[in-house]
Amino acid sequence: MRQWLRDIFSAVTTVAHAMWVGMRYWISTYNPQRRTFTERYEYPELPLKVANRFRGFHSYDPTVCTSCSLCAAACPVDCIYVGREKVPGKKGFQVTSFVIDYTKCMFCALCVEACPKDTFTMGSTYDLSCYSRDGCSVDFLRIPVEVARGRGTLDPTVLAHSKVITRSVSAAADESDDQGETAKQ
- Burial class from Cβ neighbours inside 10 Å (0-12, 13-18, 19+) for residue 94 reads middle
**pLDDT tens digits, 85-141:** 888 888 888 888 888 888 889 999 999 999 998 888 888 777 777 777 777 888 888
Partners of residue 80 on adjacent β-strands: 100
- pLDDT for residue 66: 85
**pLDDT tens digits, 11-52:** 999 999 999 999 999 888 888 888 777 677 776 677 777 788
- pLDDT for residue 159: 65
Whether 57 and 154 have beta carbons less than 8 Å apart is answered as yes
Q: CA distances (Å), 157 to each of 45, 160, 163, 164, 176, in order?
A: 15, 5, 10, 11, 27
Hey, what amino acid is at 25?
Answer: Y
- pLDDT for residue 91: 82
